Amino acid sequence: MPKYKLVCFDVDGTLVDFPPNDPKFSWQVFHDYFQTDEHRREDARNKFLSKKISYLEWAQHDINLWKEKNAKKDDFLKALKPLKLMDGALETLKELKKNNIKLAV
């Protein structure tokens, strides 16, 4: 069996289980937590959907909104704290870490 050095995870629907009656994406959770400007978010989203900017430019735009709020790693973890993890997610992460496998989210 090959030895892996790194395992990458998506958050939405992989690590975090959003309730079916309130489907959100982690980025929306972060925007809500940091209270970013909704108009600026929607403007960038519309530019992406109309192909005026790339996905990378859209992502960078949103990241800059969080930077304006002085967001730190611990803040993102606090924002995710109320969310429910998928069954087995925590155990999987712990097992990978125990086996010295780097994790990326």
pLDDT tens digit sequence for 33-78 = 999 999 999 999 999 999 999 999 999 999 999 999 999 999 998 9
Number of domains in the chain: 2
Same domain, yes or no: 89 and 43: no
The predicted pLDDT at position 83 comes to: 87
Site of tokens 């704290």: 81
> 104 - beta bridge partners?
8
Domain hosting 53: range is 22-83
Same domain, 3 and 32: no
Same domain, 32 and 77: yes
**67 and 40 in a common domain:** yes
